[in-house]
Chain A
Amino acid sequence: MKRIIHACILCLLIFCLAGCAKRNFFPDEDDPGLSRFTFHGYNIATAYINEVAYINPFYGVALFSAGPPQGNAIPKLSKVATNSAFDTLSLSWPIGINKNGTTSRYSDQTISLLMPVPKSFSLNNFLAWSGQRFSSNTNSITLQGFGDQSLYGSSNIYLVEISVDTTDSHKHIVFSGLFNGNIGDSILITKGRFDFAIDASQINF
């Protein structure tokens, strides 16, 4: 009987701890379905794709399977080696249609912002990009899960603020920015904004 009580207490404790993660979606009154443009490391990203609001998913507690970390889906920031003179800096995250601040955690749609960078590009170079606006002449945008094949287009990216947060034991790179883009004439991505915080140990450059 004691074991059952202890198991129940443990389960309750897990559920209580699981409740700590926050969605941190604060709707922008001017742009329905999108989040406010913030720089707090909320790991929230929203954009209109053909005037439909998309958002990154929220992952709740996964007790019986090894799921992603609890909370808003964290983007992947990585440098991808290429055979050309430049490598590619890729910032990608899962998205889904925003339904009252939430979307399916099983969405297989992703969006990626791609920027050419020198082979020697480092984290310090990335930090120095704070306040830089990059035009669509050089940057690409990719949508996956919107059809059989990945969709490629061009994008404008503005890395408005980048900083290093070392308030807890982990070093986090916090960055916020704006983006838009188009894939041919058929898909228009507008009003995109993101506010991310990534553990520096997860970045491969």
Chain B
Amino acid sequence: MNIKLLQSLIIFILFSATGNAQSFISLSTGISANINKPNQSFYHIPLSLQWKPSPKENNPFFVEFDYGIPFIAKSSGNAYTLNPSLPAAVNLEETICPNIFTVSIGFRIFLYTNKKNNSFYLNLLPFGISNQNFKVTYKNYDKENYEVLNPDVNKDLTGFVASVAAVYNFHKGKQDMMIMLHLQSPTTRRKGDYPLSYKSVAPLQLTFGYNFYYNKGKIK
């Protein structure tokens, strides 16, 4: 039963590739928001590069590279001291800088095209590796005299991710353009037992960019 289902899926994927019979590179950027947020909201400017190396009709596989330029997230932490000549407690501004880089492989499922040859695709990227690096700093933190209670700490997470995207390709003049709504899962890697105010990022990104076609084949 499962083998039949898998066969059907493969046939569907290969059949659905008929609208994409050419190699291309896509470059896009936009805005990204984290949807896996316990306390912290992380926003990024995503830079997305997709590369479909094969011009063959029956090869819909492509590689995607995503880098998120982070907006620094601000929070606060409380610090305490025993030094009687200093205030017993102070509130510190905390900043978290989350850098994200992801490499994924996946395939495109052709969904729709209109008379102007604008097309709509569903990208499925079931296998990706994401590195998420969180750098935490406390502004004006006097480490000699104060101790931050339940401090956040730096974390470097590398783990597997999966993602899905809806892509609309359209033409403006001679330019091939695209809009993409892309959702990535959090990493499979746990952040450890120590409780932090942030979690692995699951970016929902809306990007706009250009497609550069080469090795053009015949589009059915």
Contacts and interface: CB of A to CB of B under 8 A. Distances in A.
Residue among B143, B147, B148, B153 facing the most chain A CB atoms (10 A cut-off): B147
B146 to A, nearest CB: 10
Nearest to B88: A133
Interface residues of A, number: 24
Contacts, number: 46
Contact of B195 (A40, A135, A161, A179): A40
A37 B149 contact: yes
B80 A22 contact: no
B18 to A, nearest CB: 55
B171 to A, nearest CB: 54
B84 A37 contact: no
B150 A39 contact: yes
Contact of A38 (B88, B143, B150): B150
Interface stretch (A23-31, A58-66, A106-114): A23-31
Given A22-B193, A24-B193, A30-B143, A38 B149 contact: yes
Chain B contact-residue range equals 10 to 19
A36 B148 CA distance: 8
B151 interface: yes
A158 B80 contact: yes
A178 B147 contact: yes
A92 B186 CA distance: 43
Interface string A16-48: 000000101010011000001111100000000
A121 B58 CA distance: 81
Given A133-B82, A178-B80, A158 B88 contact: yes
Contacts of B81: 158, 178
Closest 3 pairs (CB-CB, A-B): A37-B147, A156-B82, A26-B194
Given A158-B88, A160-B80, 17 more contacts: A24-B193, A30-B143, A36-B150, A36-B151, A37-B80, A37-B150, A38-B149, A39-B149, A40-B195, A133-B84, A160-B149, A176-B149, A178-B81, A178-B82, A178-B147, A180-B82, A191-B147
